[in-house]
């Protein structure tokens, strides 16, 4: 297994499969707008996920359920305008693919045509198999999402670790193999035991991207606003905060307010 880092000009779904085969870990972060996506892409992140976590992070909803297909398209098209290198994966939002395969395909086509995204992500296993197949048959790359699936939060009732029981773990492995068999190019595994995630990653040749799934998978994803420390009420064990932007931004904005009140801003050089 080579650890040498290859330079990729543009990341495609094939690049990701090659990266797994070469033992190169895949970096993935969310972004929902042009400015952030430009920074994330410029910093060399391989995959940008326009996640339906935009529902929480951007719109302040408690769950991912309220975000609409139109809103996802708006976020994704803003991200696409910023990108030079990363692969952009767009979440199909709740309600846009669960009812039947035809509707699922219509939703995926809208994402691809109207946002310019490169692939879609869908939560679930065998229960949405026909919808995934329909989308794949239209030439649209699909990433699966297993384990904790936030669009089903009301079914599970909590955001705790999934697949701790043997039956659920076996079902998850079966779903992962099925997603690979029908042609998905990768799978996000959210909040499951690290040992199980490792077993899944070893059982399939498509990349497994973990969030709260340990280190023995093929790549990692985090929500950008969480890893930058912009959100500060969310403390899952898996989250590493690389900055404390909530405090830094509060300090800067407080200083601005104080400067305006004291007529210290603008000064002589900051006017015409
Ligand atoms: O919507 C999202 O941000 C996601 C990640 C948590 C994987 O699906």
Set 127, 190, 233, 270: catalytic member: 190
Task: Give the pLDDT score at 259.
Answer: 98
pLDDT in tens, 206-231: 999 999 999 999 999 999 999 999 99
Task: Give the pLDDT score at 172.
Answer: 98
Residue nearest to atom 1 of ligand 1 (CA): 51
For the chain, the structural domain boundaries read 13-241, 244-272
pLDDT in tens, 149-170: 999 999 999 999 999 999 999 9
Task: Give the pLDDT score at 41.
Answer: 98
pLDDT tier, 263 (very low <50, low <70, confident <90, very high otherwise): very high
55, 150, 210, 226: which to mutate for ligand 1, most atoms within 8 A of CB?
Answer: 150
pLDDT in tens, 241-256: 999 999 999 999 999 9
Rounded to two decimals, the pTM is 0.96
What is the CA(265)–ligand 1 centre distance, in A? 40
Whether the predicted pLDDT of 7 surpasses 90: no
Task: Give the pLDDT score at 232.
Answer: 85
Mean pLDDT of the chain: 96
The residue ranking higher by pLDDT, 233 or 43, is 43
User: Measured from the CB, is residue 24 less than 6 Å from ligand 1?
Assistant: no
| 37 Rama class: left (phi>0) / alpha (psi -120 to 50) / beta | alpha
Whether the predicted pLDDT of 188 surpasses 70: yes
Task: Give the pLDDT score at 5.
Answer: 58
Task: Give the pLDDT score at 2.
Answer: 47
Whether the predicted pLDDT of 1 surpasses 80: no
What is the CA(271)–ligand 1 centre distance, in A? 44
DSSP letter at 66 equals T
Pairing mode, strands 119-123 and 186-190: unpaired
Whether the predicted pLDDT of 3 surpasses 60: no
User: Measured from the CB, is residue 52 less than 6 Å from ligand 1?
Assistant: yes
Q: Which residue has the tokens 């969030």?
A: 211
> CATH second-level architecture of 13-241?
Alpha-Beta Barrel (3.20)
Task: Give the pLDDT score at 111.
Answer: 98
Q: Which helix (H) or strand (E) holds 48?
A: strand 47-50
Mean pLDDT of 36-54: 98
Whether the predicted pLDDT of 140 surpasses 90: yes
- The Cα–Cα gap between 43 and 127 comes to 37
pLDDT in tens, 47-93: 999 999 999 999 999 999 999 999 999 999 999 999 999 999 999 99
What is the CA(189)–ligand 1 centre distance, in A? 10
- The Cα–Cα gap between 188 and 209 comes to 5
């Amino acid at each position: 297994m080579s650890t040498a880092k290859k330079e990729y000009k543009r990341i495609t779904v094939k690049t990701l499969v090659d990266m797994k085969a070469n033992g190169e870990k895949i970096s993935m972060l969310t972004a929902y707008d042009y400015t952030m996506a430009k920074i994330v892409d410029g910093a060399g992140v391989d995959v940008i996920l326009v996640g339906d976590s935009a529902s929480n992070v951007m719109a302040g909803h408690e769950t991912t359920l309220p975000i609409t297909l139109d809103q996802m398209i708006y976020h994704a098209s803003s991200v696409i305008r910023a990108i030079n290198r990363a692969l952009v994966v767009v979440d199909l939002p709740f309600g846009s693919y669960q009812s039947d395969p035809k509707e699922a395909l219509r939703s995926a086509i809208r994402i691809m045509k109207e946002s310019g995204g490169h692939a879609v992500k869908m939560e679930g296993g065998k229960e949405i198999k026909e919808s995934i197949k329909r989308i794949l048959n239209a030439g649209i790359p699909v990433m699966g999402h297993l384990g904790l699936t936030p669009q089903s939060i009301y079914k599970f009732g909590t955001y705790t670790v999934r697949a701790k029981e043997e039956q659920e773990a076996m079902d998850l492995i079966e779903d992962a193999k099925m997603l690979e068999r029908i042609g998905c190019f990768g799978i996000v595994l959210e909040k499951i035991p690290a040992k199980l995630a490792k077993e899944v990653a070893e059982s399939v040749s498509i990349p497994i991207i973990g969030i709260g799934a340990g280190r023995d998978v093929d790549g990692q994803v985090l929500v950008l606003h969480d890893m930058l420390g912009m959100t500060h009420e969310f403390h899952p064990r898996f989250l590493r905060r690389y900055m404390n932007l909530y405090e830094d931004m509060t300090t800067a904005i407080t200083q601005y307010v104080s400067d305006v009140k004291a007529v210290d801003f603008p000064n002589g050089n900051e006017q015409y």
